[in-house]
Structure 1
């Protein structure tokens, strides 16, 4: 399957934004500018990932080969890194009480649970006449429903669902539209304006709205604020995602090859990001809380996640993120028409921020 350099570029740039935002998280208090940038990035970086994931899930029909790929590329990495991050927190954060749980995703592993559930539901969304309005309604209802609980991080799964469904509805020409010259020209002032707006509201707006992991009531807001936030933040996310995608180069660049390894960068960078709060590095090294310290940490995060996306790291982690599981599944039976007729090509795995 020929890879499209545009999407590899988008995935790499998006994972850099994820890593940088995670690096800002423990050091942004006391810096209105850092908090504003964090808020602006959080508005669209995960929606962009989810939209791309939905786009590459359009062909998912639950064929046997696709289910095997779903297990090897999503379920296995989730199980491995759920255990790894639990052990890491027990050790680095001196938190022996941190329980192992298959249903309560820790930190960034929530995205793998969400991707698994979204992709399994793809045939349903493809069958509906008006899938996007239905998904928005579900997200709005979730935002005003406290007590969904931590199981499978369903609050976040449901609130991000519209972006996945939107990705399922997109075609290649839609991405060509956002790369038109007029859109690219507008993208820069849109992103700058978003940063300025974030700076204006940074002191008063709670970040919980952007994480989409809690209901309105749990954020001490009126119940109706949940659906309103779903629509308003969703619209902002779409505008900023379009601006981001407009600026992504369509040609092959030096970082195009890194897009294929963005899943490695996503899963591994969290260990470095969590080292700062777990080990109290921000308190020990006060320089991290200075402007130059924040800039330095930003550069380190961007360079670090870039290295984690390189082909050698991808090859080293293949046993986790792309394990060969032929031994675990029955071979397609020639006597079974469903298996015999199933094509062997599958859509490319779209790689994927706060717990």
Structure 2
């Protein structure tokens, strides 16, 4: 999820009055960024961090209701945007290289770091380092790697979205898939990535309409009521999409039905979320370019709280305590998205590893000869969430 698909070149058409020059300032390399997507990524990463914090204190009905509502759309929104900016991805060496440096390398580094953090921070001497069993939130990098690699398949077949829904349904009735690389989530969240591949800019313009924004208010209220009602009836595993129906204590035939219902609800709430994302440049817009840093780092704080029994404090059972934890999580992940953090950790999150790859002389010639007006940043060049 990186830069927008706006073309190169200077236009003589005046900017609309509602926009300022900062709203469409060029990103590094002269490419324009769309403030809408950066705003969406920042707001989504804040909800991810807040949701992970709430997940440690689900002793209150109001907290769990809010948690369930957030979990219907925060990752689907990320995944859909990831698919949208993967439309140009193919198996050219340049894209594969950046998939390795932007997904594989950060995954290996942070999976190792979190495993060592558990071993020494939580006194787990038997804890090993395994790259097949992602720690906590790192499943998204495994999924993104698989989804990106299969992008040419989805761009080739005639009806990609129905096929992805069938695969999600099959995943929900296949407990034998196991936990390796979180393949259950890879399959069950796949429709959102494929949907993103099929979207066009005009689809996002549709969700920005005032009528959609107004309609989203009663929709969110209805979803909150439904979330509260489902607390004793629907296990959270259905929202995580990490298990098959049999593993959640349900009959196999319930898997496709519940997955279809939860994915449908997620699509509706994701649209409602996008409807309220600001379209103009905000104070937090620039942070949208660094959300991958916040995503990778914030779980250290969540895990530290687990290891120190921080979440057992009586204060966190009070409304003010919950509010304080919420504000802390939002502020912490915001700081993790800032430029100083990006500069400090770019060597492991977005490393330049030219030394590790063969030179693609033909590709370099093609890039030099391609007209600037036709070039668009390939989504695989830089991975952010």
Counting only pairs closer than 5 Å after superposition, residues 218-237 of structure 1 correspond to structure 2 as 218-237=247-266
Say yes or no: does 1:5 pair with 2:35: yes
Query: CA–CA distance in 1 between the matches of 2:296 and 2:342?
Result: 11
Counting only pairs closer than 5 Å after superposition, residues 1-355 of structure 1 correspond to structure 2 as 1-29=31-59, 31-283=60-312, 285-334=313-362, 340-341=365-366, 345-347=377-379, 349-352=382-385
In the alignment, is the contact (CA less than 8 A) between 1:156 and 1:212 conserved in 2? yes
What's the offset of the Cα at 1:340? 4.2
Count of residue pairs brought into register by the alignment: 347
What's the offset of the Cα at 1:286? 1.6
Query: CA–CA distance in 1 between the matches of 2:44 and 2:82?
Result: 12
In the alignment, is the contact (CA less than 8 A) between 1:265 and 1:308 conserved in 2? yes
Query: CA–CA distance in 2 between the matches of 1:350 and 1:232?
Result: 30
What's the offset of the Cα at 1:341? 3.1
- Structure 1 gaps of 5+ residues are none
Q: TM-score scaled by structure 1?
A: 0.95
Query: CA–CA distance in 2 between the matches of 1:211 and 1:267?
Result: 18
CA shift digits 1:146-191 (9 cap, x unpaired): 1211111111111111110000000000000000110011112211
Query: CA–CA distance in 1 between the matches of 2:307 and 2:224?
Result: 29
In the alignment, is the contact (CA less than 8 A) between 1:5 and 1:252 conserved in 2? yes
- Structure 2 gaps of 5+ residues are 1-30
What's the offset of the Cα at 1:244? 0.0
Query: CA–CA distance in 2 between the matches of 1:292 and 1:51?
Result: 34
What's the offset of the Cα at 1:99? 1.9
For the aligned residue pairs, the C-alpha RMSD in angstroms reads: 1.4
Secondary structure at the aligned position of 2:255 is classed as helix
Q: TM-score scaled by structure 2?
A: 0.88
Query: CA–CA distance in 2 between the matches of 1:201 and 1:121?
Result: 35
